[in-house]
A = this chain, B = another copy of it.
Amino acid sequence: MANSYDTGRLNLPFVGISTFGKRPYVEDWSKIDADVAVMGAPFDFGTQFRAGARFGPRSVREASTLFSFGHAGAYDHEDDCTYLPSSVRIVDIGDADIIHTDTARSHANIKTGVQAMLAAGALPVVIGGDHSVNIPCIEAFEGQGDIHILQIDAHLDFVDERHGVRVGHGSPMRRAAEKPWVKGLTQVGIRNVSSTAREGYEAARAMGSDILSVRQMRELGAQGVIARIPKGARVYVTLDIDGFCPSIAPGTGTPSHGGFLYYEVLEMLQEVAKNHEVVGMDLVEVAPDYDPTQSTSILAAQILLNFLGFIFHARAGQ
């Protein structure tokens, strides 16, 4: 298994077109042939404070090049393991088409993209965009079997309806919980005042949600949290970047202090990858222009690439 720079270009991180991980771009969604397909969902009309998540996909792609050194996989000395060997085929299928002023059609286009990835048998990875993009993602799983949702987030996102709004970024988990194919939710990192009021928490619990704060997660540990997900559940992970502490993820619309540090999330993801089939994921709310250091986008890319590594390492081991 050769490193790509042995035979071709050195291809330093700052060189070249920014697809996700510098992987091939597949423009025709009927021709996806890969283990993983990555799609952007640059929609941010669902936000309630700062916008800008529309540039999330571009910035995460750009940041992902930092982790592209042309090696034949990503060696991790702690695990003594090379993740994402060349046998794991990842493609970037570009972005869902977004229609300004029109939430319904934009969401529909996102759903179409996820359906295409699922139809191709690829693991769908969606980069938001605000958290409302999770709504069409979950809708696309209709007919794909039961799923459990693991949400890492500062906010519960369980608003039912307010002033007629049902599909804003404060509602995705409510919309998910309503779906027959969503059998449960584990919501981790939830803290502070947000668009969800007390009644939202009560509704979530009534609909079977397991709500954990950052401090509660710290007491349980990563293993303890993941152990609360039903055995055998097929898990969809939705990762709102504001689940992290603003110290490492300030580039987001509604930052909330007191969030997770890096290893806390990494270890939950490694644990869920070991113990469950992961059937899809989205990473949302990166608003890169609020972080001139680019740390937020780098975090998003680093987490996604590591999580994909864990998933396919677990699959390979089975």
Contacts and interface: CB of A to CB of B under 8 A. Distances in A.
A198 B75 contact: yes
Contacts of A48: 12-14, 69, 100
Interface string A1-24: 001010001111111111100000
A169 B101 CA distance: 9
A48 B11 CA distance: 10
Contacts of A215: 78, 263
Given A17-B94, A18-B17, A193-B71, A99 B247 contact: no
Nearest to A10: B163
A46 B101 contact: yes
Interface in A94-130: 94-103, 105
Given A15-B97, A16-B95, A132-B101, A52 B49 contact: no
B52 A52 contact: yes
17 contacts: A10-B163, A11-B97, A12-B99, A13-B254, A14-B55, A15-B40, A15-B95, A44-B51, A46-B101, A50-B52, A50-B55, A75-B198, A77-B201, A101-B165, A102-B103, A193-B305, A255-B293
Interface of A: 3, 5, 9-19, 25, 40, 42, 44-52, 54-55, 58, 61-62, 66-67, 69, 71-72, 74-78, 82, 92, 94-103, 105, 132, 156, 162-165, 167-169, 190-195, 197-198, 201, 211, 213-216, 245-248, 250-251, 254-258, 261-263, 266, 289-295, 298-299, 302-303, 305-306
